[in-house]
Amino acid sequence: MKQFGFLGLGIMGTAMARNLVKAGYPVTVWNRSPGKTEELEQLGARRAISPAAAMAECDITFAMLADPAAAREVCFGADGVLSATTTGKGYVDFSTVDATTSLEISCAVTARGGRFLEAPVSGSKKPAEEGTLIILTAGDRTLYDELLPPLEKLGKKILYLGEVGNGARMKIVINMIMGGMMAALCEGIALGEKGDLNVSDILQVLDAGALANPLFRLKGGGIMADSYTTAFPLKHMQKDLRLALELGDKMVQPLPCTAAVNELFKGAKQAGLGEEDFSALFKVVRQP
């Protein structure tokens, strides 16, 4: 059986690595803060001292990192993945990054004889825990075909989108839309409250018609309960909105709504809400 590495054990990475271990795959894990490996070690995973050590030990290494800077550091930095990439090694990046970053990592890995697959995921904490993510792959088709069985332990839908960069762009577009939906929901609830409407009634009307969707159902309930347990950190949503605006500039596509939504999320981040769930945007949208 192939040996898998997993780099990055945040909210998403821990859940995904846990599902691989529980499915019986041999997994070696690494995280910048070593304490986060303990749970997985207790389940049977091994711990690597560096990304390079994981890459050297494993046939295929996965990464789930916070942003483009972290993805670059883990690949190109001292004791990074690239230093241990040899012919046939596979590297799969689940991180949400821009297409340029993904392409640079892909070119570097393949130049050393490795195989690369970008695979950003759509979904947050609960889908990661349940193995029901949507995985947006692009890159080496042979690596994709080889990885379908373990990927099916992580996601309910796995798409192959062709050339490297398509996965990154798809994820940015999806999260851009999600950020706009969250902003609209927060403003709608805030306005409804000011107009003496019951939040529960607003959510019932949304759920009964054409606007019904799992995001409004789940996050609306959390807003109503004033509960913002982090499933997807607000700071990551703001990062993804920024990536969308950068992509819009490159594609010469105006994104006026996204620009306004990004400013809302920037304000929430500056207000100290970056580590809270992105639905905590409501705290800054609601005005006394």
Taken in order of first residue, the domains within the chain and their CATH numbers are 4-162 (3.40.50.720), 169-285 (1.10.1040.10)
The two structure tokens encoding residue 147: 């990885």
Spatial distance between the Cα atoms of 176 and 261, rounded to a whole number of angstroms: 9
Res. 120 pLDDT band, cuts 50 70 90: very high
Closest alpha carbon to 111 in 147, 82, 139, 143 = 82
Q: What burial letters (b/e) apply to 226-249, b meaning 16+ CB within 10 Å?
A: eebebbbbbbbbbbbbbbbbebbe
Q: What is the pLDDT of residue 181?
A: 98
Q: List, for residues 148-193, the tens digit of each pLDDT value.
A: 999 999 999 999 999 999 999 999 999 999 999 999 999 999 999 9
Inform me whether the pLDDT recorded for 287 exceeds 90.
no
Predicted confidence (pLDDT) per residue in 49-79, tens digit: 999 999 999 999 999 999 999 999 999 999 9
Looking at 89, 125, 153, 171, which residue is catalytic?
A: 171
Tell me the DSSP string of 213-275: -HHHHHHHHHHHTT----SSBHHHHHHHHHHHHHHHHHHT---HHHHHHHHHHHHHIIIIITT
pLDDT of residue 241: 98
How far is the CA of 247 from the CAs of 71, 165, 250, in angstroms? 18, 11, 5
Dist CA 48 CA 36 (whole Å)? 12
What is the overall mean pLDDT for the chain? 97
Contact criterion met (CB below 8 Å) for 119 and 61: no
Q: What is the model's pTM?
A: 0.94
* Residue 1 pLDDT > 90: no
Q: How many CB atoms neighbour CB 32 within 10 A? A: 15
Q: Are 222 and 229 in contact (CB under 8 A)?
A: yes
Check whether 260 has a pLDDT greater than 90.
yes
pLDDT at residue 288, rounded to an integer: 80
Q: Is 171 a catalytic residue?
A: yes
Residues of the chain with pLDDT > 70: what percent? 100
Please state the rounded mean pLDDT for residues 251-255. Answer: 98
> Interior CA angle at 52 toward 39 and 24, to 5°?
40
